Structure 1
Amino acid sequence: MTPNLLNIHHGFNFRDMGGYQTKSGQTLRMHKVIRSAKLDLLSDRDLNFLNNYGMRYDVDFRSPEEQAKEPDRVPEAAEYYFVPVFPTDETQAGKKPENLTAKFSASPKAGYDNMVETYRDIVNMDNSQKAYRKFFDLLLANEKPDEALLFHCSAGKDRTGMGAVYLLSALGVDRQTIAQDYLAANDYIQTPLKQMLARVDAEGGSANLRQSMTDLWTVNAGYLQSALDTIDDNYGGMQHYLENTLQLTPAQQADLRALYLNE
C-alpha cells in the first residue's frame, strides 16, 4: 500500500501508519500511530494540524546532543517523552557534512559500513533495548481511540524505522510489508538529502564523501537485513526478541492488537 503522508508543511517523512494489513487480515487503525522525522521545524500551522489530528504522545528517539541542538516543537495537547535509543548519534544524521569529512572520505563504503554496524547496535545495545521497551509502554498507554502516538528521530528512518519494525512485527504484519514501510523513507527524505549533498559539493567534498553521506542519509535493505540477521542469529528470531529481550509479553502483544487493529 502507499504510505499515508501527512500534510505537514515544515517537516518531512510524517506518515500515519494506519492501513497496513496483518497476516490474519486485520488492519492497523488510522489516527493511532505516526512515524516522522524531527519536529523542530514545525510551523504553528503544523502544530495545529497535529493537535487536531489527535497527536497526544511525542516519543523522541534522538540522542541528548540532537535534542539539545534542535528541540521539538510539541502540539499543545501532546505529552513529550525523551527516549534516546543511543547516548550519541550513531546514525550521524544530526551532524554536518564538514564534521564527517575525515571519517567518511577514506572509502566509498565507509557510510554503508557505518550503518550496517549501527543497525547491529540498535538490536544489541542495552540502551536501545530499554528505549524500545519504553516505546512499547507508551504504545500500551495510548488507549483512547481518538488519540495518536508519534515517534521520531532526526530523519525518521533508522531509529524510527526500527521502532516501526518492532511494532509492526508485534502486530503480526508480514516481513515484506514491514520492509516496504522501512524502505519508503527514501521517498520522503529527498529534499534534505539534496540539500546535504549540495553542501558537500559546495565545500569540495570528494566522491567518497558524497557516497558515504548518501548512504548515511538513506535507508537500504542491507541495513534492515543487518538488524534482522542479528535478531535471528543472536536472539532466536523476532518473536523471541520481542518477548525475551524487550520483555513484551504475549498478553501485552494481544493488548497492542486490540488497541491498534480493526477487526
Structure 2
Amino acid sequence: MTPRILDIHHGFNFRDLGGYVTKAGQTLRTHKLIRSGRLNELSTRDQAYLADYGVKIDVDFRSPQERASAPDKLPAGAAYHFTPVFAVDETKASANAEQLRRQALAKDPLGGFRNMVNTYADMVLQPNAQKAYRAFFDLLLANSAPDSALLFHCSAGKDRTGMGAVYLLTALGVDPVTVRRDYLASNNYLIGESERMVNNVKKAGGSPALIASTRSLGGVANEYLDSALMTINSRFGSLDHYLTDVLGVDAAQRRDLRAIYLK
C-alpha cells in the first residue's frame, strides 16, 4: 500500500502507519501510529493539525544535543517523552559540511555509507539504544485510549525512527516485505531535505567524495537495514528473539499491542 502522508506544511516524512495488513489478515488502525522527521519546524497550523489528528504522545529518539538545538513544537495536549537512542547523533543526518570534514568523509566517497552501516549495527547492540526502544514499547502499550495517536520521530525520521518502525511492525505481525517497504519509503519523502544537505556542501566547496557521503547520510538503503538484521541474526538468532530477549516484548505484550493497534 502507499503510505498515508500527513498534510504537514513545515516538516517532512510524516506518515500514518494505518492501513498495513498483518500476516493474520488484520489491519493497522489509522490515527494511532505516526512516524516522522523533526518537529522543531512545525507552524502553528501544523501543530493544530496534529492535535486535531489525535496526537497525544510524542516520542523523541534524538540525541540530547539535537533536542537542545531544535526542541520539538508540541501539538496542544500532547505529552513529550525523550528517549534518546544515542547519547550523540551517530547518524550525522543533520551535520554541516565542517562536521563532515572533521570525520574525514571529504576524502572517502564511501565514508558516509560505511558510517550508516556501522550505525545500524550500533542501534542493535548499544545498551542505550536497547533501553530507548524498550521505553518506546512501554509508551506504545500505554497508548490504549481509542482517540490517542502516538507519534515517534528522530531528525529525518529514517534511521532511529526507521528501526523503531521495524520493531513495532514486526511485533504487530506485519510481514518482512511490507516492513522493508515502509523503511525504504523514507527515500520518497526526503528528496528535498537530502538535496538541501547536498547543496549546503556544494556551496561550502565540498569535494565530490564529501558530496557522495552526504547523499549516503541523507537517505536509507537496503544495506543499512540489512546491517541491523544481520547483526540481530548473528548475535541473537532472529528478530523475534531480539524483540523477546533483548527488548522484553513477550507474547502477552504482543497480544496487548495487537489489541490496541489492529482491527
CA distance in 2, matches of 1:197, 1:214: 7
CA distances 1:131-180 after superposition (whole Å, capped 9, x unpaired): 00000000000001111000000000000000000000000111110000
Tell me if 1:226 matches 2:227.
Answer: yes
- Could you say which residue in structure 2 is the equivalent of 1:128? 129
How do 1:3-18 and structure 2 match up within 5 A? 3-18=3-18
Check conservation: 2:154, 2:161, Cα contact below 8 A. Answer: yes
**Alignment identity in percent?**
56
Check conservation: 2:107, 2:207, Cα contact below 8 A. Answer: no
- Could you say which residue in structure 1 is the equivalent of 2:35? 35
TM-score normalised by structure 1 residue count: 0.99
CA distances 1:205-229 after superposition (whole Å, capped 9, x unpaired): 1110001000011000000000001
- Could you say which residue in structure 1 is the equivalent of 2:56? 56
CA distances 1:49-68 after superposition (whole Å, capped 9, x unpaired): 00000000000000000000
CA distances 1:27-65 after superposition (whole Å, capped 9, x unpaired): 100000000000000000000000000000000000000
Partner secondary structure for residue 25 of structure 1: coil
TM-score normalised by structure 2 residue count: 0.99
What's the offset of the Cα at 1:98? 2.3
- Aligned residue pairs total 262
- Could you say which residue in structure 2 is the equivalent of 1:174? 175
How do 1:21-100 and structure 2 match up within 5 A? 21-100=21-100
Check conservation: 2:5, 2:16, Cα contact below 8 A. Answer: yes
Unaligned runs of 5+ in 1: none
How do 1:250-261 and structure 2 match up within 5 A? 250-261=251-262
CA distance in 2, matches of 1:48, 1:4: 19
What's the offset of the Cα at 1:81? 0.3
CA distances 1:234-255 after superposition (whole Å, capped 9, x unpaired): 0010111001000111100000
CA distance in 2, matches of 1:255, 1:9: 34
CA distance in 2, matches of 1:167, 1:138: 12
CA distance in 2, matches of 1:78, 1:202: 39
What's the offset of the Cα at 1:23? 0.6
CA distance in 2, matches of 1:138, 1:67: 19
Letter in 2 for 1:80: Y
Q: Which runs of 4+ in 1 moved over 3 A?
A: none
